[in-house]
Amino acid sequence: IKEENKNDYQIFKTSLTEGFKERLTMENELHKAIKNQDFELFFQPQIEMKSKKIIGLEALCRWNHPEKGLIPPKEFIPLSEKTGLIVELGDWVIREACRQNKLWQDLGLPKVKVSVNLSARQFLQRDLVRNIESILNETGLDPQYLELEITESMAMSNEQFIIETLKGFQQLGVNVALDDFGTGYSSLKYISQFPLSKLKIDRLFIQNRTEQNVAIVKTIIHLSHSLNLKVIAEGVENEEDLLFLNGENCDEVQGFYFSKPVPVKEVDLLFNKKLS
């Protein structure tokens, strides 16, 4: 090996080790964070088009790191998923979202649903339905005020198990929305067989309104309504987005145009603000 190539290899090896160390450090820190409950939920309103009222709040997790401050989910959810820590973290998220929603209701805020994202690994937990049932019992939240968001990616594995789990939620009275719709392996067979209550159009289609994407949005809205499902669009950032979706009869909208995800202490303000 020539001297310079040897150096390249050395650099390569070092950076590999660095990456590995970094991952290990983060994994350790995540473990600690879960133990210390160093996480925080932010909430983003979901608005019903015809009443212009908030009917739901999506719970979005942030890691409140002692030195680094708030870390966005894309920086720790994938690793949590890979290491299995997502099961414990996800459990905390469901419990916290239910507890908080019940508290708001008891404080007299208008009753709305809280939507919680479920990761694939979490969804495949055998005792998920019973677990959620006991969280509802412990927090006292009426099941109709909890909604779960799942993605298409988990629909590919173990179809029968998924149907049974979804039926379990249906029996509990908990609604399920299919998130990021249109970006994964959508199969019309799944959508018609799964007991779902809502499709959530991915923001990709809303934000990049090419002729094709407009056609896709219209088709998803039609499809939802013919299957008796509600449809919500995410990533609504401006008035044009809203007018477009209103014209296409989309049931609900969510996005920066109304509000970014806000911390718990700012949620009551959302209900006083005039929404469009």
Judged by the rule CB under 5 A, the positions of this chain that interact with Ca ion are 117, 149, 179-180
Q: Which is nearer to ligand C2E, 191 or 232 (CB)?
A: 232
**What is the CA 4 to chain-centroid distance, rounded?**
48
Radius of gyration, alpha carbons of the chain: 21
Is 162 among the residues that bind ligand C2E (CB under 6 A)?
A: no
Size of residue set near ligand C2E by CB under 6 A: 22
Q: Which is nearer to Ca ion, 61 or 129 (CB)?
A: 61
* Burial of 218 per CB tally in 10 Å (0-12, 13-18, 19+): middle
Is 45 among the residues that bind ligand C2E (CB under 6 A)?
A: no
Work out how close the CB of 30 gets to ligand C2E at its nearest, in angstroms, rounded to a whole number.
Answer: 13
- Given a contact cutoff of 8 angstroms between Cβ atoms, the answer to whether 134 and 103 are in contact is no
Which residues inside 240-259 make contact with ligand C2E, applying CB under 6 A? 255-256
Q: Which amino acid is at 178?
A: L
Is 177 among the residues that bind ligand C2E (CB under 6 A)?
A: no
Q: Which amino acid is at 82?
A: K
Is 72 among the residues that bind ligand C2E (CB under 6 A)?
A: yes
| C-alpha pair distances (Å), 267 with each of 51, 58, 134, 253, 273 | 19, 11, 26, 17, 10
Q: Which is nearer to Ca ion, 27 or 81 (CB)?
A: 81
Q: Which residue has the tokens 């019940």?
A: 102
Chain residue at closest Cβ approach to ligand C2E = 255
Binding site residues, ligand C2E, CB under 6 A: 44, 60-61, 72-74, 77, 90, 93, 117-119, 179-180, 203, 234-237, 255-256, 261
